[in-house]
Chain A
Amino acid sequence: EAGVAQSPRYKIIEKRQSVAFWCNPISGHATLYWYQQILGQGPKLLIQFQNNGVVDDSQLPKDRFSAERLKGVDSTLKIQPAKLEDSAVYLCASSTGTASSYNEQFFGPGTRLTVL
């Protein structure tokens, strides 16, 4: 079974530029998560999708971050414009969980973003 795929693995941009990350979850997983993990901290949930609907985006900085999951499969996370404090690893995860079950998440390798 193929795991969660993410690209790119690394990205270096200058502040005020735009960047996009892509995630392909495990086939059949209805729930998809995007996390931001700053060096030395735990992952912080940015947005959670159930199929192509948003379940939780309470911690997504909506003035600069956006995410979509068209057709309930792949997802993209965009930052426009980037700030220095956006430097972090962006993790994508998927699970078979539903509203009433708590299933483990399978994580992708992450995208390491450096904003100069």
Chain B
Amino acid sequence: AQKITQTQPGMFVQEKEAVTLDCTYDTSDPSYGLFWYKQPSSGEMIFLIYQGSYDQQNATEGRYSLNFQKARKSANLVISASQLGDSAMYFCASHGGYQKVTFGTGTKLQVIP
């Protein structure tokens, strides 16, 4: 069984600063994918970034980067130059064998002007 742990229920960050949202995972699947999604207060779930378990380099997508440490089973999301529009819930998720999907409990990020 897969498990995703997000230990930060809430985070604050100053506008234009960088912030790291933590995610650890537990899976027995040899091949898996790790995802981050953003859920604003409006409710829609938006894909941000993906990391494959065999990828050698950390994924980056614009201001988002994923700090992947396989030995530690961590996949932290780094948001650089935070903007007010980044205020939202952030979910880490894993896809294991045959795409079995598990989401974490989420981190609520609030960007302070």
Contacts and interface: CB of A to CB of B under 8 A. Distances in A.
Interface of B: 4, 32-33, 35, 37, 43-47, 50, 52, 91, 93, 95, 98-106
Contacts, number: 59
Q: Is the interface of A mostly helix, strand, loop or mixed?
A: strand
Contacts of A55: 98-99
A35 B101 CA distance: 10
A62 B106 CA distance: 27
Contacts of A93: 45
Interchain residue pairs A-B with the least CB separation, the first 9: A102-B33, A42-B103, A107-B45, A104-B47, A102-B95, A43-B103, A45-B101, A42-B105, A99-B98
Interface in A9-58: 31, 33, 35, 41-45, 48, 55-56
Contact of A89 (B37, B43, B91, B95): B43
